[in-house]
Amino acid sequence: MPLSGIRILDLTRIISGPYCTALLADLGAEVLKIESPESGDPVREQGVIRDGISWYFANYNRNKKSLGIDLYSPEGKALLARLISACDVVVENYRPGVMEKMGFGPERLKELRPDIIHCSINGFGDTGPYRDRPAFDFVAQAMSGFMSLNGAEDDPPLRAGPPISDLIAGLHGALGITAALLRCKQTGRGDSVNVSLLSSMVSMLSFHASNFLASGVVPPRSGNDHGIAAPYGLFQTSDGQVAIAPSNDGVYHKLLDAAGLSHIRERPEFNTNALRMERRQEIKEIIETRTREHSSEYWIQRLNEFGVPCGPVLGLPDVFNDPQVKDQEMTITVNHPGHGDVRMLGFPIKFTEAQSSCRLPAPELGADTQDVLMSIGLKAAEIEHLQDIGVISTTRCTSA
């Protein structure tokens, strides 16, 4: 596996950080998830709980080990120092400055492990006027300009359904860490990596940003229409809607041919994309008179035969029954001892040789405390003492 032999100390909770470290765990890293001995990651209690386990927690914490350690206690801090020395990477999603307050600022980290890679994931970045503000996915979606582009033109700015700020920050973190590991292998040097929800979302503005910066023209929300192409959007069929996306003149012509509208090719008022943008509603209606005559299934097959990108708008039940989604194994089933089988999302990055798999189900709180501490050299008596004084927990319900 790509990250075999890499040990990651994971101080994160909720989504952005645990998603980042789940990506790294799926790539083969050994991830040590440090949790408070009493309650652990709050996500353990969030989302739908089935047979005593949150499937949301199970999804984002597969392939990880859990250590219950009270990081407020001096003994817990001493343990953390020993663990850092034994790890290649430390990931945290505290607010900026918290690591310093805990006694683990950049200098200390380097002292403990000269080639450490430290990744911080936070709301606004390590510097700047908002660095100390509390952050949340929704706020980053709002402040990044993303919401100003999401929604129909006459509707208010709209948050995306999934927590994409968290997820994209997590992806950026995983990419930054993996890149830093590659550099470390070649130079022996560690590095510090920071990603933020806000910058992650700003970097998703794509051509909207480029066009605005070049022209000063503020892009409108365009709903299901494309900002710079027409026809485009959802088209009514006899039994539903189909998303059709002709990306250029060639595909536009294929769409006309497939719809039996080849004669429209000659119409000068629709001759260029710019002209069609001006008559967006008109060209859409012409095409819809045809698409309404047959079912969605008919059109999806016919348009694909003609080379026109299109597809149905699926809800989650149809997504997870879709033959392509199944072929790509985008759900997997993982047995969690004591909780039965848990279905979760699969692996979106497919390797031919170094395939990802679920080697470990999401851990019980503190399940790996003892094994990991012994592996870094603690004696059984020492571990027992730490448990007696409440600094560590080794299983969910038996912390002293």
Task: Decide if residue 316 touches its own copies (CB under 8 A).
Answer: yes
For the bound state, the minimum distance from the C-beta of residue 221 to its own copies, rounded and expressed in Å, comes to 6
> Applying CB under 8 A, which part among 30-38, 83-91, 168-176, 372-380 lies near its own copies?
168-176
Does 281 contact its own copies by CB under 8 A?
A: no
| 311 makes contact with its own copies (CB under 8 A) | yes
Q: CA-based angle 371:373:377, to the nearest 5?
A: 110
Determine the Cα–Cα distance for residues 169 and 195; give it in Å rounded to an integer.
Answer: 6
Here's the x/- map for its own copies, 103-122, by CB under 8 A: it reads as ---x----------------
H or E segment and range at residue 311: strand 310-312
What is the C-alpha separation between 75 and 332, in angstroms, rounded? Answer: 39
CA 227 to CA 15: how far, in whole Å?
31
Q: Which has the closest alpha carbon to 198: 142, 132, 127, 160?
A: 142
* 147 lies in the site for its own copies, by CB under 8 A: yes
Check: CB of residue 43 under 8 Å from CB of residue 357.
no
Type and span of the H or E element at 344: strand 340-345
CB 85 → its own copies: shortest distance, Å?
A: 20
Residues 327-346 that bind its own copies (CB under 8 A): 327-328, 330-331, 342-346
* Contact window for its own copies (CB under 8 A) among 65-73, 163-171, 255-263, 375-383: 163-171
Total count of residues recorded for the chain: 400
Q: Shortest approach of its own copies to residue 342 CB, angstroms?
A: 8
**Residue from the set 101, 189, 359, 379 that interacts with its own copies by CB under 8 A:** 189
* Residue with token string 């989504």: 15
- Give 78 or 313: the residue with its C-beta nearer to its own copies: 313
Please list every residue from 57 through 96 that binds its own copies, using CB under 8 A: 58-59
Question: Which of 7, 226, 290, 302 contacts its own copies by CB under 8 A?
Answer: 226
- Supply 232's token pair: 């485009």
Q: Of 82-90, 131-139, 291-299, 372-380, which part binds its own copies (CB under 8 A)?
A: 131-139
Q: Pick the binder of its own copies from 98, 102, 115, 157 (CB under 8 A).
A: 157
> Is residue 151 at the binding interface for its own copies, with CB under 8 A as the rule?
yes
Strand partners, 332: 344
CB 93 within 8 A of CB 74: no
Interface with its own copies, residue 252, by CB under 8 A: no
188 interacts with its own copies by CB under 8 A: no
| Residues binding its own copies: number (CB under 8 A) | 154
CB 227 within 8 A of CB 219: yes
Site for its own copies contains 203 (CB under 8 A): yes
Pair type for strands 49-50 and 310-312: unpaired
Angle at 213 between CA 207 and CA 218, to 5 degrees: 80
Catalytic residue among 166, 225, 368, 388: 166
Q: Would you please indicate which residues are annotated as catalytic (active-site) residues?
A: 166
